[in-house]
Amino acid sequence: MLIKQGRSIYRLMRIETSSDGSLQVFSDRDPRPNKIQRMEGEGVFVLDHDSHGAPLPSARFSIHTTGQVHRYHGGRRLQTIFIEPLPCLTAVTPIGFMSVPSPTRLDVLDTEKHTHNAYALFEIPEGFVQRLTFQIEVGPKPQTPPSDGVTFNYEIYAVTIRLVPHALHITNELTDHFIYGMPERGLFAERQAEKSEAELAFYRNAIGELPIIMREDSGSYVLFAQVPMRIAPKPIVEFDRDDLKIELIPFQSLTQPSHKLRFWICDIGGRNKVDDLRKHIRRFTLDAEL
């Protein structure tokens, strides 16, 4: 999301999606030195210092497919709430906010350096120098962009960033600082779906019937089962070419997931990363226990 004021265009937030359907919302700022702000008591923000003096990453919100939402600042996880799983969203839900001391405090967009697949532009009147507070909301797709913000519709959900009146009690020390926060409580006390169930529900809603084989940018493949199994499945794949076979790719997690598997399709030259060879799969079977 970009802010336009006069001839200047500033970066406000950046949204990134993950292959499992999760997403992250970043404060689109360059890393800063050793000052972060935290909330203490009833909405009172105080200054906190990083003793190492190293640049701190931008604040971010991670919204997992399960509905588990984390807030990070200065590289630390500070808060967690739980909303509806993303494949099961029924209403628009606020998950956080970002408060900017003034539009000119944002970092300027460099079109050669800061690339993106899509963007939305929100215009601020020239001469406006007051604090701006934006609320981040997640809801089912599609959502109509509000007059006071922008909406990104993606696959099965929508992210809306809207300008809201700020009602923060800010100490004098933080008047010139960026402030981030999220609701004290979510909709639930714990997450409402397991990771495997939520990921399968995301692909089922976004693409259709499972099982399905997806091809990754690297040329590898991911096969999603219809339902999670008791143990990691073992694939039996039949091709219409004798020179083709699969090579499994272990997941980086300690325990292998029971609802999906990754693999290469190899031909006589080894791993074929160029051609999409899914059309040569005659049949596949997942050998595992339910």
HEC per residue, 124-147: CCCCCCCCEEEEEEEEECCCCCCC
pLDDT of amino acid 36: 47
Distance between CA 274 and CA 51 in Å, rounded? 48
DSSP state of 188: B
Query: What's the pLDDT band for 278 if we cut at 50, 70, 90?
Result: very high
DSSP state of 32: B
pLDDT of amino acid 31: 75
The pTM of the full predicted model, rounded to 2 decimals, is 0.83
- Tens of pLDDT along 174-201? 788 888 999 999 999 999 999 999 999 9
Query: What's the pLDDT band for 44 if we cut at 50, 70, 90?
Result: very low
For the chain, the residue count is: 290
- Tens of pLDDT along 230-272? 888 888 899 999 999 999 999 887 778 889 999 999 999 999 9
Angle subtended at Cα 201 by Cα 198 and Cα 207, rounded to the nearest 5 degrees:
140
Contact 138, 83 (CB under 8 A): yes
Distance between CA 137 and CA 25 in Å, rounded? 11
Query: What's the pLDDT band for 33 if we cut at 50, 70, 90?
Result: low
Average pLDDT, the chain: 87
